[in-house]
Each structure stands twice: as structure tokens, then as C-alpha cells.
Structure 1
Amino acid sequence: MTQQADILCIGSVLWDVIGRTASSMRVGSDVPGRITRLPGGVAMNIAMTLRRFGMTPALLTAIGRDSEGDELVAEATRMGMVCDHIYRSEDLPTDVYMAVEGANGLIAAIADAHSLEAAGDKILRAMANGALGTADAPYSGTVALDGNLTEELLQDIAGSNLFQHADLRVAPASPGKAERLLALLGHPSATLYVNLEEAGLLCHTQFDDSASAAAALIQRGAHRVLVTDGGKSASEGTQGDIITQTPPAVMVTRVTGAGDTFMAAHIASESEGMNRSAALTRALNAAATYVSGETPL
């Protein structure tokens, strides 16, 4: 029997291979550190944080039928996620993300998400075949959407009746793919979670702070936005109403997944009925705790 999900997490679920060192790094550095392999990807990072906040996410993604994929699905199931709707490809390998982080932040990263991109709208089959919804009775719950999906698929989602009743939360895209979110900028129920650099790319300018970035995105047609700026500030806003807070100061030990943690904590907080200010505070605290190396609860 399929477990009931509180939220759908649509997008990348893969293995994160992260090398971390306490040393500052530059091009050509060769330093000691630790290399880990953990479940990752935007959709997975959000789902893992949602689980820590007591929610049950369902994953809609593409995972290969290779040994790495079997292990990844088993781990997601063990963590309490609904995996019944995952598209398992016979001929596409399980995706992987590789990054190197130093004391001076993210040095470099490569995301091999070719299988997710090749799968396209196959990952959305459960939204139309009755498992989670149909064209006549679309899914009406919360959806956490990976902004790194292909531009074509994001455009399809933006215009699809399958998402017309959903509370659509769009996860941070990597800066190199930020402009893909333009397809969802005018969606009537979409909340965009972006950092200051991504906001600038979407508006084709640079911003000095999160509040001005949030205001510009709303002016460009965004329904609702949350803009973060590392340890400086974060702003949440809708038309004519922007609130800004400063996150706690912490020692940064990791950065990969921080934005996903922030978004998941914010969604979980609002699902519990917290007001805007309290939800933003809790999300900032969760992200700060995460980057300090602790579990964000």
C-alpha cells in the first residue's frame, strides 16, 4: 500500500560525492581532507530536511536500474520517503554530483544530471495517471520543484493544468541555470527561492541586498519570493510587502545543500501554521545550523 505523502519533491535525486578540507584552496591545490558519498540532489536534500521536520515527502525523479540506483532508492525508503512514483530507467545511469569545498567556500562542482534531463516529463507520470492526480483532478498539495530541471520541462510545468492547484515552491537553481526560472516567474502560485546572485541573473542586474532583489523580482511578475544573501540577510515578499531578517552568525564548515535546507525548513514551518516572520526565522536558523556542521533541528 502506498504511503500518504505530505509534499511532492520533483527533481534531482542522486549521489553527492563531496571533498572537504579545512584549508583554503585555489586552482591546483592538493590538500588533505575528507571525501564522502551521501544521497543528494536538490529534491533529495529538500526531502531529507522535510523528514527531519516530520513531513513525509514523495520523490518524483529519474533513477537508473543500476546498483547505485538500487542503493539510492533503498536509502530513500529507509529514511521514510515515498519512492513508489520514481521513474526507474533501464538504460540511463544514476546521476551524480561532485564538489570540492575548502575553508574559503565552494571551489568547484560538476553536476552529472544527464539521466534526469533525458527522462524529461516521464518523471511526472504519477501527476496524470491517477496515482497523484489527473488532468481533471490535479494535485492540490505542496510541490517542491527543482529549478535545475530543463528549461523545456519547466515551461511545460508552468503551463500545465496538472499544477494549476498546487502550492508550487521552486528550489534554488545553480547560478549557471538560474535563467531557467524565468518560465515560472509569472506563475500565479509559485514561490521562488533564490540567492542574491540568482536574483541578479533573473533581473539582468546586480543587487546590493536581498530586499531590493526581492522587490525587483516581484516587479518582474513573481508571485512570491525568498531571497538569501549568505550570512548577510534574507527577504521574503509579495507585492508591496517585504520582510527582511539577518541570519545567526556561525562558523561555516559546509555550503552544499544550505539553500535546500533553508527552503525545506521554511516549507515545514508554514505547514505547521507559523506566520511569515516566524517561518523565515526558523528557516534561517536551520540553514545556519546546517552550514555550521550540525543537524538543522
Structure 2
Amino acid sequence: MLAPVRLRGQRQDMTGNTEILCIGSVLWDVIGRPASVMRQGSDVPGRITRLPGGVAMNIAMATARFGLRPALLTAIGRDAEGDELIRACADLGMDVSHVYRSEDLPTDRYMAVEGANGLIAAIADAHSLEAAGDKILRPLVNGTLGTDVSPYQGLIALDGNLTRQLLENISVSPEFGMADLRVAPASPGKAERLMPFLNHHRAMLYVNLEEAGLLCQNTFSDAAIASETLIKRGARRVVVTDGGRSAAEADETGVITGTPPEVLVTRVTGAGDTFMAAHIAAETRGADRQEALSQALTAAARYVSGDNAL
């Protein structure tokens, strides 16, 4: 059995300041939420908020709430919005010392509308992150966090907002060859970018049922079948979620399942990132597979209900 890397009590970077690297999108989330059900063309009163977001940022924020110390590898512009975002990240407990600050690329943004019936529409503008490319990974090659001969050996949360080519390069890069690599697509539209990690010897995939189907070029009726199929296709370890229905975690030894608590859904953006962060944190505390899955499902349910208590 290829067991997950246990990092409880360890500090894995060269400076001893972090327990998990979060690589990917860090941007401003602009979210509109009414209290009513919405459909195409709806024009209703509600609230519009702007908060630090992005998959990597959401995972970093959640892991910080769970007691880990996250560092960000991302691209943030040197514009006013970027300066404000850097300050907000630092105030939330992120290590921002390794962030690539671009002189000519604007800070990225994500915009979504969520009705009482769930996500209505969303647009992710992560073009600056894509344009920055492998510049965001320099600390992993220049000796700050690791090199190709002495690679980083800790936890890495990687999101699919990076370009397909960069993700392919990461999947075979020696700089990632010793890490406990946890990978999630940014959205179903980017799920197929994770194909190179289906056969990665140290990667664990976190996907929802739709994303699992896209990776397998199939459709699935439940998470257990989807997770088992991903393992058969070469994945080392996977978690498949399905909203309020049962989730599954699988490796070569078999499949386990768990069902989230029933809650009133008040928000959905960031729920999958919270699940992933809670699962990682549970394993660093020594939880077994079933305990980690259960704790992650409970944390995600609390998040979508609007309860941030951990």
C-alpha cells in the first residue's frame, strides 16, 4: 500500500516556516448572493462581496484555520488591487514571501452569482497566473524551498488554474518528485488538465463527480464507482465528492465512502477547497482514511451552511 505521507510535527521547507505550499490561483472573489432562487435573466436584490479567493488561496485559508502554516506560490500584480490582496493574505496567516509580483500583469479576479438554488454562473479571470507560467515556481528550483537535486519534501496543494503545459511539466519535474502532492482542478472546465497526474507516483486527486467523468471520459452514477475507475486508470489515490451525496476515497487497497451531514446550503464557492484542506489537515494529525474523509465532509457541510466554526 502507498500510504499518504505523514507530516505531523514536521517542517518540510529549507527555512522551517511552512507546512504546506499552495500553488495556483490567488485573486479577488467577487460574489453576488440573493436570498431567492434564480434562473437565467433573474434581476433580484442581494449582497455583493469582495474577498480574497482562488483555489490555492481558499485551500491556504482553510488549512490555516485548521492549524497548518501555508505558503503561497502564485502571481499577483503590482497594482493597487495586488498590494491590497498581498496585505489581506498576510493578515489571514499566509506566507506571501515567495509570491511572484508582476510589473505588467494585473491582479486576477473571479466573479460568480449564487442563488438559493446554487451556483448560477461564474467567470474566472486567471490570465495573469497563466501568463506568469513557471516564474511562480522559482522558489522550488533556486534553493529557497528546494532544487532539482534536493527537492521539496513536504505537502503541496496544486490547483488546475495553471496552464496545461505547465501542469504537464510539473507532473514529470524532479522538483516535485519527493512531495506529498495533492491536486485539484479549478473547475470542471479545467479537469482534463489533470490528465498527467493520473499516473503520477505521489499525487492524490481531489475531484467531484463531474470532473471524475471528464478525466475518465465517462459518466458515473456515484462517487464510489468513479473513484474505483480512476484507480483502475492509474491514479495512486483519489477522493471523489458529489455535493450532498456520498463521497468516496480510493487507493489500490479499496474504496471507502462517507456521507456529509444534511445542512441548509447558503454558499457553494470554496466548498471543495474547504473539503480538500480539511482532509489534508486531518491526515497531518494522524487520522486514518475513514476519519479523514468524515472530518472533511463535516467541515465542507459547515462551510456551505455558513458556519465557519472548526
The answer to whether the superposition gives a TM-score over 0.5 is yes
| Preserved CA contact (<8 Å) 2:38 2:115 | yes
1:199 partner letter: A
Residues 1:206 and 2:207 aligned together? no
Mapped to 2, the partners of 1:273 and 1:250 lie a distance apart of 27
Residues 1:59 and 2:72 aligned together? yes
Mapped to 2, the partners of 1:10 and 1:148 lie a distance apart of 9
Residues 1:108 and 2:121 aligned together? yes
What residue number does 2:35 align with?
22
1:253 partner letter: T
Instruction: Give the drift of 1:3.
Output: 6.8
Deviations 1:223-264 (A, max 9, x none): 100000000111001014110011100000000000000000
Deviations 1:277-297 (A, max 9, x none): 111110000000000011051
Instruction: Give the drift of 1:219.
Output: 0.6
2:157 to 135, 139, 144: 144
What residue number does 2:200 align with?
187
2:292 partner letter: A
What residue number does 2:166 align with?
153
What residue number does 1:88 align with?
101
Mapped to 2, the partners of 1:260 and 1:296 lie a distance apart of 16
Instruction: Give the drift of 1:123.
Output: 0.4
2:79 partner letter: D
| Preserved CA contact (<8 Å) 2:185 2:194 | no
Mapped to 2, the partners of 1:97 and 1:32 lie a distance apart of 20
1:216 partner letter: T
Mapped to 2, the partners of 1:63 and 1:170 lie a distance apart of 21
| Preserved CA contact (<8 Å) 1:248 1:285 | yes
Q: The residue matched to 1:227 in structure 2 has which SS?
A: strand
| Preserved CA contact (<8 Å) 1:26 1:107 | yes
Mapped to 2, the partners of 1:143 and 1:171 lie a distance apart of 11
Q: The residue matched to 2:36 in structure 1 has which SS?
A: coil
Instruction: Give the drift of 1:172.
Output: 3.5
2:306 to 288, 293, 296: 293
Provide the TM-score with structure 2 as the length reference: 0.94
Q: How does 1:1-297 map to 2 (within 5 A)?
A: 4-297=17-310
| Preserved CA contact (<8 Å) 1:101 1:108 | yes
Provide the TM-score with structure 1 as the length reference: 0.98
| Preserved CA contact (<8 Å) 1:214 1:225 | yes
Deviations 1:46-105 (A, max 9, x none): 000001011100000000000100011111111121111000000000000000000111
Q: The residue matched to 1:233 in structure 2 has which SS?
A: strand
| Preserved CA contact (<8 Å) 2:157 2:181 | yes
Instruction: Give the drift of 1:148.
Output: 2.3
| Preserved CA contact (<8 Å) 1:173 1:194 | no
Gaps of 5+ in 1: none
Mapped to 2, the partners of 1:160 and 1:15 lie a distance apart of 30
Mapped to 2, the partners of 1:127 and 1:218 lie a distance apart of 29
| Preserved CA contact (<8 Å) 1:16 1:97 | yes
Moved more, 169-178 or 211-220: 169-178
Mapped to 2, the partners of 1:221 and 1:76 lie a distance apart of 36
**RMSD of aligned C-alpha atoms?**
0.9
Mapped to 1, the partners of 2:171 and 2:229 lie a distance apart of 21
Mapped to 2, the partners of 1:3 and 1:225 lie a distance apart of 29
Moved more, 20-29 or 157-166: 20-29
Instruction: Give the drift of 1:183.
Output: 1.3
Gaps of 5+ in 2: 1-14
Q: The residue matched to 2:245 in structure 1 has which SS?
A: coil
Mapped to 1, the partners of 2:85 and 2:34 lie a distance apart of 26
Aligned residues: 296
| Preserved CA contact (<8 Å) 1:3 1:82 | no
| Preserved CA contact (<8 Å) 1:139 1:163 | yes
Mapped to 2, the partners of 1:11 and 1:139 lie a distance apart of 17
Deviations 1:113-139 (A, max 9, x none): 000000000000000001000111000
Change (3 A) 1:89 1:3: farther
